[in-house]
Amino acid sequence: ILLDEEGHIKLTDFGLSKESIDHEKKAYSFCGTVEYMAPEVVNRQGHSHSADWWSYGVLMFEMLTGSLPFQGKDRKETMTLILKVNPAGAYARRAKLGMPQFLSSEAQGLLRSLFKRNPTNRLGSGIDGAEELKRHPFFSTIDWNKLYRREISPPFKPAVSQPEDTYYFDTEFTSRTPKDSPGIPPSAGAHQLFRGFSFVAPPSGGEDRPSSTSPSLSVPKMLNKNVAFTDVYTLRESIGVGSYSVCKRCVHKGTNMEYAVKIINKSKKDPSEEIEILRRYGQHPNIIALKDVYEEGNSVYLVTDLMRGGELLDRILRQKFFSEREACAVLFTMCKTVEYLHSQGVVHRDLKPSNILYVDESGNPESIRICDFGFAKQLRAENGLLMTPCYTANFVAPEVI
């Protein structure tokens, strides 16, 4: 069960799946992960689609409690717990599964309805199938039509920059060379499939040719642990120094495009929160965009757009005067951006002039970018409060102190 880039669930790995299974036609294979097997799968007396609802119950129990309902010291003991048989082989007296008291009565009721050892009594095994579960009080607040149309915001949205991002997968697997599974050899009459089919390749020139004025390829947005930063970029002069990091200008060797790189000392500051927030929300037009991340030894390199327009305060000081109308436009842009962050449960905690920069020299309020998310936090506590004292003294709110 995986999450896509929006946080919606996708079912994967259908290697053990079986088609055309119903109450009349059963499967007898002993396969699966033991802890999630239904009793009828373990005892090999034949199982139907009802076995999935038992596994669904195991998954639900694990998500709500953090532990498995049936788990012994080995496979044999686990299967014994699932079947509830004694050493002599006779079925033991049916004992109720112990339910943690912190679970709601609705959750306990649904779990007990799913953990029926007789599959015909199990919720979801009737003629209505999954509709039986959807009508259960535990799901009373769910609008199933909106859920199906993906109109309900998931409770967790992964911090990824694109659908193909492998940030959450171990490099042990992502660094391997992909191998195609061997296909089924074509039959002798396979060429008949293409009878009457023709194809004419498009001309090499014209509108199908990439424009010479098209933008350069963007730097891959992924965590690079196996590639050195200096293999891809050339470091230039420093453009800023912070408590835990230094910011420098850098040039991509392949495209010759200029960027800024924030070099963080991991022994002084954990950058994982900042990286996650930038990857998740850096697509906003007024939040600095994270282009690339490299990890080398004790340093993490965060490659971002180069803010050529400089800091907000420096720009104000360079002008002869800064009108109230101009200030209003700047504050309006900042307000919209902060409102967006707050709506996503993010608090910046270090808003100050040096962290508000222009991406270009135009001075347009829309070219403003909020930068430096080193103290930012994704709210997770139920009461929404943050207890970590991180701030710049002159700009800190009283409740942080």
DSSP string over 294-359: EEETTEEEEEE---TTEEHHHHHHHSS---HHHHHHHHHHHHHHHHHHHHTTEE-S---GGGEEES
- Contact call for residues 305 and 359 (beta carbons, < 8 A): yes
Please measure the distance between the N-terminal and C-terminal CA atoms of the chain and give it in whole angstroms: 42
Query: From the DSSP assignment, how many helices (H) and strands (E) are in the chain?
Result: 11, 13
Q: What is the pLDDT of residues 103-117, one digit of tens each?
A: 999 999 999 999 998
**CA angle, 140 then 141 then 142, to 5°:** 95
Q: Which helix (H) or strand (E) holds 82?
A: helix 75-83
What is the rounded CA–CA span in Å between residue 381 and residue 296?
32
Q: What one-letter code names the amino acid at 263?
A: I
Q: Which helix (H) or strand (E) holds 131?
A: helix 130-134
User: What CA dihedral angle connects 340, 345, 349 and 355, to 10 degrees?
Assistant: -30
What is the rounded CA–CA span in Å between residue 8 and residue 2?
8
Known binding residues are 262
Known binding residues for ATP are 262
- Contact call for residues 341 and 281 (beta carbons, < 8 A): yes
Residue extent(s) of CATH 1.10.510.10 domains in the chain: 2-148, 310-395
- pLDDT tens for the chain, 401 residues: list them: 988 888 899 998 887 777 766 656 777 777 788 899 888 888 888 888 888 999 999 999 999 999 898 888 888 888 888 888 433 333 444 445 778 889 999 999 999 999 998 888 999 888 888 999 999 999 999 999 999 999 998 888 887 766 677 778 877 777 777 766 655 555 555 555 555 555 555 544 443 433 333 333 333 344 565 688 999 999 999 998 887 899 999 999 999 999 999 999 988 888 988 998 998 888 899 999 999 899 888 899 999 999 999 998 888 888 878 889 989 999 999 999 999 998 888 999 889 888 999 999 888 999 999 999 988 988 765 554 444 445 555 655 676 55
Name the architecture of domain 310-395.
Orthogonal Bundle (1.10)
- Contact call for residues 54 and 38 (beta carbons, < 8 A): yes
| Pairing verdict, β 290-296 and 223-224 | parallel
- Contact call for residues 111 and 65 (beta carbons, < 8 A): no
For the chain, the residue count is 401
The domain 223-304: what is its CATH number?
Answer: 3.30.200.20
Residue with the two structure tokens 């498009």: 202
Report the CATH fold assignment for 2-148.
Transferase(Phosphotransferase); domain 1 (1.10.510)
